[in-house]
Chains A and B, each alone.
Chain A
């Protein structure tokens, strides 16, 4: 049975939750707020955790509710200042909105979805490798920190850093080959 360990939540899941939120709300500040609310709400209702799902799944289920609530709140303001868009002239028939929202030739939508899943696969693989390695790898690769800045932050030498990056890249490549490419 799964047990909760709130002490490790931020280190273990903040990045995954962030990735999950940012692709859905597309705003850094809002994502940050929603995630923070999620962690606090989870702490409050920790006694309700039955251990049937993994910690991450459970946190995501809380986050989902927060995201839905966020859109509900946003939508409740709708209608107060409604804007109708339509064709200007009579001879252009049809519903402007309907014709403009769906694009049957849009092949990028599926790609986008697949790439999003790839993002989650990368997060899951990073969870499985050494934590310090993963942290340094993320800073260097995803956040594009300078080598120097990371060395200062973690009190390591550049050659230490490159050894860590090398190991992280190797484990990550193997993990992705096993979990994603199959």
Chain B
């Protein structure tokens, strides 16, 4: 395990964290990076806030399979 991540790697861990997909080791390295990197600290903050927003809004989308069905039906109508 290495101790120092570069910014791209740190942001990648931060992104994965938003989906609970980063491991403990990743998190430790991210936190070490955040101690000395203010740019990534800012990104982390914004990223976490975005996750909170998404959760709070309980934003909904049409499920993919229903969208595909609707699209096919509609396309058929358009072509006629």
Contact = CB atoms under 8 A, between A and B. Distances in A.
A89 interface: no
Contacts of A172: 50
B60 to A, nearest CB: 5
Contacts of B58: 115, 119
A40 B50 contact: no
Contacts of B71: 10-11, 14
A118 interface: yes
A162 B16 contact: yes
Contact of B11 (A15, A166, A180): A166
Main secondary structure of the interface of A (DSSP, over half): helix
Interface size for chain B: under 10, 10 to 19, 20 to 34, or 35 or more residues?
A: 20 to 34
A122 interface: yes
Contacts of B50: 169, 172-173, 176
B67 A14 contact: yes
A106 interface: no
Interface in B41-62: 46-47, 49-50, 53-54, 56-62
A173 B49 contact: yes
Contacts of A145: 64
Contacts of A19: 59-61
A147 B12 CA distance: 14
A143 interface: yes
Given A15-B62, A35-B62, A166-B12, A122 B53 contact: yes
Contact of B19 (A140, A176, A177): A140
Most A Cβ at <10 Å: residue of B19, B62, B73, B78: B62
Interface string B7-32: 00001100110110100000000000
Interface in A25-45: 28, 32, 35-36, 39-40, 43
A69 interface: no
A121 B16 CA distance: 24
